[in-house]
Amino acid sequence: MDRPDNDEYFMEMARLVSTRSTCMRRKVGAVIVKEKRVLSTGYNGSPRGTRHCEELGCIRVQMNIPSGTRHELCRGVHAEQNAVAQAAYFGVSVNGASIYTTTFPCSMCAKILINAGIKEIVYDEGYMDDLSKSLLDETDIKIREFHPSKQRLPVLRALYSDPHYYIQKRG
């Protein structure tokens, strides 16, 4: 297999990070990078030291809350938020960095990324959040949808579509 380019490398890391998610609805991973170096990672799940939705059930499912709405009614912290918080916890500035995320940021995450000084967002899957897109349009943040190289696309699709890929590789 050919060596992955930087986008493929960091997005694959974000996909791996997403496997740590404890969210019952959507597994999301994020990797913050500056000068081709990983600064921080994050995945969506309950705050440190609290019980996970896997144990308690999903409040959003129980209340029939549609995806993309009422983000405040969730026990979980989003992947992008966790990545910024982890960097802050360890005193690492993310100002001027890029974030690779498996899903386009919601409006709450967009606001945090704007204020943290993120300069670029590379995302893999779209997400319906008009406010997020509107807020980001008002900034100088570069936004790119991830597109693997044509040579590696079949290999990456096979890896990403196999739910046991990461387990097999670790085993």
* 107-141 tens-digit pLDDT: 999 999 999 999 999 999 887 788 999 999 999 99
* pLDDT score recorded for residue 1: 53
* 63-99 tens-digit pLDDT: 888 877 787 778 889 999 999 999 999 999 999 999 9
Active site residue 80: yes
Of the residues 80, 120, 138, 145, which is catalytic?
80
End-to-end Cα separation, the chain, in angstroms: 21
The rounded distance, in Å, linking the Cα atoms of 3 and 30 is: 21
